[in-house]
A and B are shown apart, each in its own frame.
Chain A
Amino acid sequence: MDRRAALSLSPAACPLALVLAGLGLTVAQSFGFFLPVPAAGGRFDGYAALLAPHLVASFAFSALVALASVLLSLACGTLIAWRIWQLSPKLKPLALVYKVPLILPHIAVAFIVLIVFSGSGVLASAGHALGLVATPADFPAILFSGNGLGLILAYALKETPFVTLMVLALLARLDPRLVQAARMLGASGTRVFFTIAVPHVRPALEASGIILFLYAFGAYDIPALLSESSPGMLSITVFDLIFQRDLALRPRAMALLVVMFLFAAAFIWAYVRLAARLSSRERKL
């Protein structure tokens, strides 16, 4: 490669170099190299510590929250996009309100969920005002109840408009006559949705699904406000290990980050392979 080609690639290569450098340092520290304070114990102690039951539970909890929030976002986002696509040209501009949560920071969305769904929040107060419960505190717990529902709701609220945006971009290229053809053949709205719309927007669902899953799996902002403490989200655990605990635990924190990275990479690899196998022929369009 000549010098000019190398220079033209540098805008893309610089961020990658930074990421690789950071990843290299993380891997090194997870094995006890380049630590701020020397590590006692073996090279693999950081990884062995990850098998502790609370960390395994935390890992499973994070994956569950990410998966549930992504599935909810994909379902809601696709349905909303489908309804918007079906609107008359006159009404379509009004439907742009769906984008509002997109411009809110994640932490603001977390606060909205907190205000609406907490024990003393809007929903519980409304339940009390309607006479459904004796006191707001009697309202069924939605947040911090150990099942990650608050996190899932917050992620879904924030991620649904993103899915809608991605799906609408593909629906713009859907020939409405395909829907007419299906209708003439006697298809119900549900059949049209699943046979025509969903396969058409599948690339958007795959791309946004991967992005959102990996974000929800590793993000810190929403869990900082809404995460249960046990099991907690992995991002909170990593933060605690790095900033709240003994420096000697740095290899364990770094090992956790490495495992999270490997999990994300394996997730993408498996998904791409599965998607390619399922649709290798129909995509010759």
Chain B
Amino acid sequence: MLCRLEGIAKSFDGRPVLSEVSFDVAPGEIVSIVGPSGVGKTTLLTLIAGLATPDAGRIVFDPPPGRHNPVILVFQDWLLFPHISVFDNVAFGLKARGLPRAEVKRRVAGQLDYFGLSDKAHDFPAELSAGQKQRVALARALVVQPALLLLDEPFANLDRNLRLSTAAFIKATQRAFGISLIAVTHDLEEAFAMSDRLGVMLGGRLAQLGSVAEIYHRPASLEVARFLGPVNRIPAALALELGAACPGGEGAEVFARPEGLTLTPDPAGPAEVLEQVFAGHYIVYRVRLRGRELTVYSLSDGLVPGDRARMACHASFTHTEEPS
């Protein structure tokens, strides 16, 4: 365990923002905390970074952070120092530690090389693209060899087509530098791509923490499931008809994500296609089956509204807590 949060709570002006947040981070692990905007994710990071104090609970580090193993928070808008060059931004932490000039130059050069910024060394932050700014911020943070790196919404200011590659880059960088990392984001796809474990924050509480697959396929509550993507609620009888397991018995419900359902064209099939929407790399079908509307994602665009089809369920789950 590198860092453990125990029962963290924080309020602003009497309004609770975080309640009973507990989890730990192992050395060399990436934990992403996802949740809707305003749920307290950034507040959580500022508490871990020591920029604010929790009202209740404690944050334990082992070993405790210090000048040689700091906790560094990279803010959402990177906050590069605007009046100094890229080189000096990256060198900032090393100069603050009083390292010899030659050592600073050598380490910064290595860092700029790793992050592909060598040709930008003498540029000022205002001259950089969003992706370059983020890389400078990461280089500036990692050059001081932090024990724990905190990333606040690392994908928020990037173009859509840059986000997944950035997630892969962050993961590769974290592995290369061997540091622990906590990221908060509301970009699910990127969080899935880079995280060892994922936490879902809802209403100021950590609703679930686990591996990405566990959270996605076995969500702890319907709210968690719905936050991660659309969910079809299917009564037990219908689920059995679709071939899904129904451990809760006849009165229970099972849940299936749209990609867990398949449609096969069949003029005598029980399902009727109500709507077909082209969504880029998949097709969204709205289907009526036994009086219930379901959503299905498919790679095939062979059905149009009014067509009939057979439906099957290949992946379903039941949640363990009742929604509040």
Contact = CB atoms under 8 A, between A and B. Distances in A.
Which range holds the interface residue count of chain A? 20 to 34
Contact of A282 (B49, B82, B95, B141): B82
A187 interface: yes
B73 interface: yes
Q: How large is the interface on B (under 10, 10 to 19, 20 to 34, 35 or more residues)?
A: 20 to 34
B129 to A, nearest CB: 14
Contacts of A185: 70, 72, 92-93, 96, 140-141, 144
Contacts of A283: 126
- Majority-rule SS of B interface residues: loop
B279 interface: no
Given A186-B144, A282-B124, A178 B97 contact: no
B79 A196 contact: no
A83 interface: no
Interface in B160-218: none
Interface in A48-89: none
Given A178-B79, A195-B84, A184 B72 contact: yes
A178 B96 CA distance: 15
B96 A181 contact: no
> Which of A182, A200, A282 has the largest number of chain B CB atoms within 10 A?
A282
B72 A191 contact: no
A195 B126 contact: no
B70 A184 contact: yes
B92 A182 contact: yes
Given A182-B81, A182-B92, A196-B81, A285 B126 contact: yes
B92 A177 contact: no
B115 interface: no
B219 to A, nearest CB: 34
Contact of B83 (A175, A177, A188, A200): A200
B49 A184 contact: yes
Given A177-B79, A285-B82, A186 B96 contact: yes
Contact of A281 (B70, B92, B124): B124
Contacts of B51: 180, 184
A253 B51 CA distance: 62
A284 interface: yes
B81 A195 contact: yes
A38 interface: no
B55 interface: no
A184 B127 contact: no
Interface in A174-205: 175, 177-178, 180-182, 184-188, 191, 195-196, 199-200, 202
A281 B127 contact: yes
Given A180-B51, A200-B83, A284 B75 contact: no
Contact of B96 (A177, A188, A200): A188
Interface centre among A175, A184, A195, A282 (most CB of B within 10 A): A184
Contacts of B15: none
Nearest to B84: A195
Given A281-B127, A285-B126, A184 B73 contact: yes
Contacts of B70: 184-186
A205 to B, nearest CB: 13
A262 B270 CA distance: 94
A205 B292 CA distance: 70
Q: Which of B49, B51, B83, B144 has the most CB of A within 10 A?
A: B83
Given A184-B49, A185-B70, A185-B93, 10 more contacts: A178-B81, A182-B92, A184-B51, A186-B67, A186-B70, A187-B96, A188-B96, A196-B81, A282-B84, A284-B126
21 contacts: A178-B79, A180-B73, A182-B81, A184-B70, A184-B71, A185-B70, A185-B96, A186-B70, A186-B93, A186-B96, A196-B81, A199-B84, A200-B82, A281-B123, A281-B127, A282-B82, A282-B84, A282-B126, A283-B126, A284-B126, A284-B127
Interface of A: 175, 177-178, 180-182, 184-188, 191, 195-196, 199-200, 202, 279, 281-285
